[in-house]
Amino acid sequence: MNTLKRSQAIALQTRRELCAANASPWNHSSLARSRSLVVAKRRRERILACLAFVMLVVAWDATLRLDERMSPPRMRMSHAVEMSGELQTMTAVE
């Protein structure tokens, strides 16, 4: 029973020593790196959230347009001339 309490106390003590070692003034570079990683992760999450929101709006708009009636596409003038020319040649051959 005493050994269990001692091992827990030793574990807590080593954790405190590790935290104190990490907080030492010689370790600023690792803190700066971890902070920059956190900032980069937050930036990526915000960008992905914005992109997801834009995709949601685009998809929502597309689903609202599914029920709209649309006129058939107009024939271009060049296609209309070709079609009339083909019809004339077909009727002239017969």
b vs e for 36-48, b when ≥16 Cβ sit within 10 Å of the residue's Cβ?
Answer: eeeeeeeeeeeee
**Band of pLDDT at residue 41, cut at 50, 70 and 90:** very high
Q: How would you class 49 by CB atoms within 10 Å of its CB: exposed for 0-12, middle for 13-18, buried for 19 or more?
A: exposed
pTM comes to 0.42
The closest alpha carbon to 43, from 54, 53, 31, 35, belongs to 35
The mean of the pLDDT values for the chain is: 76
